[in-house]
């Protein structure tokens, strides 16, 4: 099935059952991320969410009575929020993990080495709807500037590379959503920058 809705978000009201669930599932099959709305049956909504996630599509479930304007407004607010879990995951992978790696590398007595961390061009080039990712990569650049001083007295250089679009699964997903044309750097080209 063609992913004609990839990069789009669909909010389907009453999508925990019957017609609404069928519509939500159909939209997911076409690549749309889903906001599943329900009023009373959390378990049915969670079942629809699980089914949609099994298709490889992002989905969230939000309770709201759409006959009440305040609940509609609250539903839209929840749908656009970044969760604490997402923040922890992105910062954990992109910042904390690299900091801990550097911390462990510093404990080893090998001088005159090289430490290279990975940032991203998005740290300095704003990308729509990627504030969290971009901030995490900017944090790596700030960290590298400090680590260069800390490691420097041992003759160890610390740098980061900030690749643009590298042909990976993540790149393909982002490129499909945000880029029109643009260079695609291969894994081999990135490797050439490191070695």
Active site residues: 120, 133, 137
Query: At a CB cut-off of 8 Å and minimum separation 6, what does 156 contact?
Result: 111, 112, 113, 114, 115
Task: Dump the DSSP string for the chain.
Answer: ---TTTT-EEEETTTTSHHHHHHHHHHHHTT-EEEEEESS-HHHHHHHHHHHHTTT--EEEEE--TTSHHHHHHHHHHHHPPPHHHHHHHHIIIIIHHHHHHHHHHTS---S-EEEEE--GGGTS--TT-HHHHHHHHHHHHHHHHHHHHHHTTT-EEEEE--S-BSSHHHHHHHHHH-SS---B-HHHHHHHH-
Gap between the terminal Cα atoms of the chain: 41
State the pairing for strand pair 114-118/9-12: unpaired
């Amino acid at each position: 099935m063609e992913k004609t809705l990839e990069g789009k978000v669909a909010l389907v009201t009453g999508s925990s059952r019957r017609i609404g669930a069928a519509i939500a599932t159909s939209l997911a099959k076409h690549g749309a991320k889903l906001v599943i709305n329900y009023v009373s049956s959390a378990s049915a909504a969670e079942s629809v969410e699980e089914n949609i996630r099994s298709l490889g599509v992002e989905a969230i479930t939000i309770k709201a009575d759409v006959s009440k304007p305040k609940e509609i407004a609250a539903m839209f607010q929840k749908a656009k929020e970044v969760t604490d879990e997402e923040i922890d995951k992105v910062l954990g992978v992109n910042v904390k993990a690299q900091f801990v790696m550097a911390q462990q590398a510093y404990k080893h007595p090998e001088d005159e080495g090289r430490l290279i961390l990975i940032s991203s061009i998005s740290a300095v080039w704003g990308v729509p709807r990627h504030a969290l990712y971009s901030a995490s990569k900017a944090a790596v650049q700030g960290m590298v500037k400090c680590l260069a001083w800390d490691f420097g007295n041992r003759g160890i250089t610390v740098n980061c590379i900030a690749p643009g679009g590298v042909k990976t699964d993540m790149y393909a997903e982002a490129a499909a959503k945000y880029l029109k044309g643009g260079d695609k750097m291969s894994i081999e080209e990135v490797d050439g920058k490191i070695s």
